[in-house]
Amino acid sequence: DAGVIQSPRHEVTEMGQEVTLRCKPISGHDYLFWYRQTMMRGLELLIYFNNNVPIDDSGMPEDRFSAKMPNASFSTLKIQPSEPRDSAVYFCASSPTGGSLTEQYFGPGTRLTVT
Amino acid sequence: GESVGLHLPTLSVQEGDNSIINCAYSNSASDYFIWYKQESGKGPQFIIDIRSNMDKRQGQRVTVLLNKTVKHLSLQIAATQPGDSAVYFCAETDSWGKLQFGAGTQVVVTP
């Protein structure tokens, strides 16, 4: 299995621009999670989906952030407009149903730099 | 990768020695406690978890201990190897799988 796939791996954009991060979870995993990692705040859960339906988006920082999961094999995290404080590494993770959801499989991350 | 280690506590361990990484958690109602490992430039990787009704759980070369009285979690790594160099995060969760991660500990294995 290829694991969780994220693209792009690096993104540099200017303040005010729209940014779209992409994720392909592991086939057969019903849960998908989006995290953000910074030095200041550590690793934070932004939103998670179960069977393509958003379950908890309480971690989404503000309305500039949105996430979708149109099908079981694809999810996007969009930031519009982007700001320098959004600079971070964004991780997508997936997990199969049936367990405690403690074992989540993380992708390699997208390093976002907003200038 | 992301420079998460700049301000993290660091544990320096000699190769072959045992490592003990400690974590204090906050939520007495958490159902599971988990350890993740993150190597530079990679995403976190699950190591082991323990349910709140247990005190100890062993895996391959790792042991997790849970002390609910003082809200303390530890990860013991036996015979530490160079490949164990990474940032280690403890996390806690309720049954819904919403993980709350700690700040992390940088482990450096020296030859």
Tell if the CB–CB gap between B97 and A89 is shorter than 8 Å: no
Q: Do residues A56 and A77 touch, judged by C-beta distance below 8 A?
A: no
CA dihedral B31, A40, A25, A112 (to 10 degrees): 170
For the ranges A89-93, A99-103, B23-27, the maximum mean pLDDT occurs at A89-93
Chain A residues touching residue B101 (CB < 8 angstroms): 42-44
Q: Measured between CB atoms, which of A39, A56, A107 is closest to B3?
A: A39
- The residue behind tokens 């709140």 is B52
- How many other β-carbons are positioned within 10 Å of the β-carbon of residue B64? 24
Distance CA A15, CA A84 (A): 6
Q: With an 8 Å Cβ cutoff, are A93 and B3 in contact?
A: no
- Measured between CA atoms, how close is B109 to chain A, in angstroms? 22
CB-nearest partner of A45 from B1, B89, B98: B98
Residue A104 with chain B: CB contacts under 8 Å: 44, 46, 97, 99
pLDDT tens-digit profile of B66-99?
A: 999 999 999 999 999 999 999 999 999 986 778 9
| B38 CB-contact burial (10 Å; exposed 0-12 / middle 13-18 / buried 19+) | buried
**Chain A residues within an 8 Å CB radius of B102:** 42
Residue partners of A31: CB distance under 8 A and separation at least 6: A48, A49, A50, A94, A95, A96, A97, A101, A104, B97
- Chain B within 8 Å of A42 (Cβ-Cβ)? yes
Q: What is the pLDDT of residue B8?
A: 84
Closest listed residue to residue B111, CA positions, set B73, B85, B77? B85
Residue B103's closest chain A neighbor by CA?
Answer: A42
pLDDT digits (tens, 9 = 90+) for A45-91: 999 999 999 999 999 988 999 999 999 999 999 999 999 999 999 99
A43: chain B residues, CB-CB within 8 Å: 44, 89, 101
Q: Which residue has the higher pLDDT, B4 or A39?
A: A39
User: In sequence order, what are the beta bridge partners of A7?
Assistant: A22
